[in-house]
Structure 1
Amino acid sequence: MSGGHDLLIAGGGPAGLATALHAVRAGLDVVVAEPRRAPVDKACGEGLMPSAVRALSAFGLEVPGHPVTGIRYIQGPRQVQAEFRHGPGLGVRRTDLHSALHQTVVDAGVPVLPLRVGAVQQDTTGVSVPGTSLRARWLVAADGLHSPLRRSLGLEVKTSAAPRYGLRRHYAVPPWSSYVEVHWGPDGEAYVTPLGPALVGVALLTARRAPFSIQLESFPELAARLPQEAAVTAVRGAGPLRQRARTRTHGRVLLVGDAAGYTDALTGEGLSLAFTGAEALVTNVRRGTPSRYETDWRRVTRRHRLLTELLVRARQQPALAPVIMPTAARLPRLFAAAVNALA
């Protein structure tokens, strides 16, 4: 049996929606399956790197947010910062980003079905979803960090590294900087992202299991700027962050976004990688070279994966963790080069 759509995208988050937009522009017939109503929130640092901003602009999207001019590391009295050299980033609420992407996909005529895809059946010409009439030549697994499809296909790779988690909350205080600030503490990092004239997002990345308020006490200078009464959202969590996939292609299933594998949020590139991966995936489907997607994915994510892996491993070594921030402060040009290589 053949026929059906060109692409069935399982997951309507940013990675899946970006894939849908690239597919429409490539002239492909596409449908998205997403059981949650838009907009979908997620524990996210909510800072878009300049490359992600450029990707949104290429889609014709204007998302409300706060310009981000660079990255600043802070540890006690030490600081080092680097400006983005090729245009600003953007601090944007995850819900605003998702709303804009979702509406653009709907406006492009792509059906978004209230359906969860947890298992599929493959043959030589396509993929079917049991219990439905859905069929497509290719299935895109864009179902997130803990992808049920990745697991059902046996593509999970267990990791031995200590798990890290993310916690996020918003505070109704005016941003005091146009930089994303990364505060280094004894057990993790705190990311402060300007999101609007009177709103900042605070994301904590840590291996420590404790409530947000307890974790925030590890950053006393930051906590002093964030009175409890200024908190305007509940704490939202995510993790374990490190997820590995054996491959990005499995028969007629292609993995994208967090489902394709995730190292850590330490360098803040999740959305940039999702958009880049979506473009690589559709390019290969369009030109009839889906087997090259794995190679292309590895190529376009290599710099990020190597730098993030190096930084996370150093962070988890008791002898190395205390010297990361002082080293960055002593070598500002190297810090700036790293920031802009990732941006």
Structure 2
Amino acid sequence: MIDLLIVGGGPAGLAAAIHAVRRGFDVVVAEPRPSPVDKACGEGLMPSGVDALHTLGVPASGRPLHGIRYLDATGGRHAEARFPSSPGLGIRRTVLHEALSARAAELGVPVIPHRVRRVTQSDTYVTADGITARYLVAADGLHSPTRRALGLTVRPPTRRGTPRYGLRRHYTVEPWADVVEVYWSADCEAYVTPLGPRQVGVAILTSRQLPYDEQLAHFPLLAERLLTADRTAVRGAGPLRQRARSRVAGRVLFVGDAAGYVDALTGEGLTLALTAADALVRCLREGRPQAYEQAWSRLSRSYRLLTHSLLWVRSQPRLAPLVTPAAARFPRLFRGAVRLLA
């Protein structure tokens, strides 16, 4: 019997594996896809996420991010707040995945090419397709099969609004800012993340299932900047809102997007995954797996509060276009929100 079976070898699962091995656990990661795995992602780490990488001993190369800038759809009005101390990081998801995979391999973490389909548990162990472990960590993504199999996925009520989706494309162009730019229109948002000397990622969050270029047309200044740049294919993800009844179910614990997800509005998904992985393993090391639920709630509180608030504004057609003017009019409030995220 091993100590820990981790289902999912993305950033959340690998971070949990690295923390676990360093704390003396016997770990196996089950991931059917070869590394690195690409997916739709904003590809920005908050400063606390960069700190989490350093704690893992993972060197990561990317583009320093010094703050967040909100702009209206035309780019004419804006508000900017700088991170108060250290920078964040714009990093390709594949680069991050490769760095985490290399660190896990350095520590001797076995990654088996296996898709877990069935999970059963008793008071003393968990069994997943014949693999037996003291605990199982589900890090199997936004639409976690493990979460669904255990009956922990909660369907959001229809009154909460239409589902939202994320679309991402990379452009070969020199970044024009050292911050993440967030463009607000009446219907959607566009996130521009500098990733390298000649690369930016542009993610669009929307409730309308329209082609990427039609969504980008809501932001004329941004569309004009990217008009002649080489571009990659579009990747998508969603619906983004995924509710979980709990983060702990017996000897099964959830981390990353599998633990539940509100929206990508505040760009904290990767950062929360890395910091929550540390908290999860610490709770197991202390013999208090149930304490992880409270630890996750504490770590994600600012993310959930700010994201729910912005989603409420987004759902009000008259208020959504006023987000950027309000941030420009009340700069101290905007700076406070950015400091909270950082």
TM superposition score category, shorter chain reference: over 0.9
Once residues 93 and 337 of structure 1 are traced to their aligned partners in structure 2, the CA distance between those partners, rounded to angstroms, is 28
Aligned to 2:225: 225
Per-residue Cα deviation, 1:263-296 (whole angstroms, up to 9, x for no partner):
0000000011101211111011001001111111
Q: Distance in 2 between matches of 1:120 and 1:231?
A: 45
Matched, 1:242 2:241: yes
- Matched position secondary structure for 2:326: helix
**1:299 offset after TM fit, Å?**
1.4
Q: Which residue of 2 aligns with 1:101?
A: 100
> Following superposition of structure 1 onto structure 2, how do residues 37-52 of structure 1 map, counting pairs within 5 Å?
37-52=34-49
User: Which of 63, 70, 73 pairs up with 1:66?
Assistant: 63
Matched, 1:293 2:292: yes
- The answer to whether the 8 A contact 2:186-2:317 is kept is no
Residue 63 of structure 1 and its aligned partner are, at CA, apart by 1.3
TM-score (norm 2): 0.97
- Rounded to whole Å, the distance in 1 between the matches of 2:314 and 2:88 is 25
Letter in 1 for 2:308: E
Deviation at 1:60, TM superposition (A): 1.9
Per the normalisation by structure 1, the TM-score is 0.96
Give the aligned partner of residue 316 of structure 1: 315
Find the aligned partners of 2:79 and 2:310 in 1 and give their Cα distance: 16
1:158 aligns with 2:138: no
Partner of 2:214: 214
Tell me whether 1:12 sits opposite 2:12 in the alignment.
Answer: no
Q: Matches of 1:50 and 1:174 in 2, distance apart? A: 23
Whether 1:268 aligns to 2:275 is no
Q: What CA deviation, in whole Å up to 9, does each residue of 1:87-107 have, x standing for no partner?
A: 001111110000000111111
Residues 59-95 of structure 1 show CA distances to partners (whole Å, capped at 9, x for unaligned) of: 2222121111110000132110000112001111110
8 A contact 2:185–2:320 mirrored in 1: no
Report if aligned partners of 1:45, 1:201 keep a CA contact under 8 Å in 2.
yes
Alpha-carbon distance in structure 2 between the residues aligned to 1:335 and 1:152: 41
Retained in 2: the 8 A contact 1:169–1:231?
A: no
- The answer for unaligned runs of 5 or more in structure 1 is none
What letter corresponds to residue 28 of structure 2 in structure 1? V
The equivalent of 1:54 in structure 2 is 51
Distance (whole Å) between structure 2 residues aligned to residue 180 and residue 145 of structure 1: 23
State the partner residue of 2:204: 204
- In 1, distance between residues paired with 2:279 and 2:44? 23
Deviation at 1:118, TM superposition (A): 2.5
Amino acid at match of 1:259: A
**Contact 2:30 2:115 survives alignment (8 Å):** yes
4+ residue runs of structure 1 moved beyond 6 angstroms? none
Report the CA distance between 1:119 and its aligned residue: 2.0
Distance in structure 2 (CA, Å) of the matches to 1:216 and 1:318: 19
Provide the residue aligned with 1:178 in structure 2. 178
Counterparts of 1:13 and 1:91 in 2: how far apart (Å)?
A: 17
Report % sequence identity: 61
Matches within 5 A, 1:272-287: 272-287=271-286
The unaligned stretches of length 5 or more in structure 2 are: none
Which residue does the alignment assign to 2:336?
337
1:104-144 CA distance string (max 9 Å, x none):
111110100000112211112111123x3x11000001000
Tell me the equivalent position of 1:127.
126
Q: Does structure 1 conserve the Cα–Cα contact (< 8 Å) formed by 2:134 and 2:251?
A: yes
CA distance in 2, matches of 1:61, 1:277: 16
Contact 2:171–2:199 (CA under 8 A) maintained in structure 1? yes
Q: Is the 8 A contact 1:46 1:93 kept in 2?
A: yes
Query: Over residues 164-203 of structure 1, what are the superposed CA-to-partner deviations in whole Å (9 max), with x where a residue is unaligned?
Result: 0000000101000011000111211000011111111100
TM-aligned CA deviation for residue 322 of structure 1? 2.3
The SS at the match of 1:290 is coil
Query: 2:151 aligned with 1:142, yes or no?
Result: no
Moved more, 303-312 or 259-268: 303-312
Q: AA paired with 1:275?
A: L
Instruction: In structure 2, give the amino acid aligned to 1:115.
Output: H
User: Residue 232 of structure 1: CA displacement?
Assistant: 3.0
Match of 2:116 in 1: 117
Alpha carbons 2:19, 2:281 under 8 Å: kept:
yes
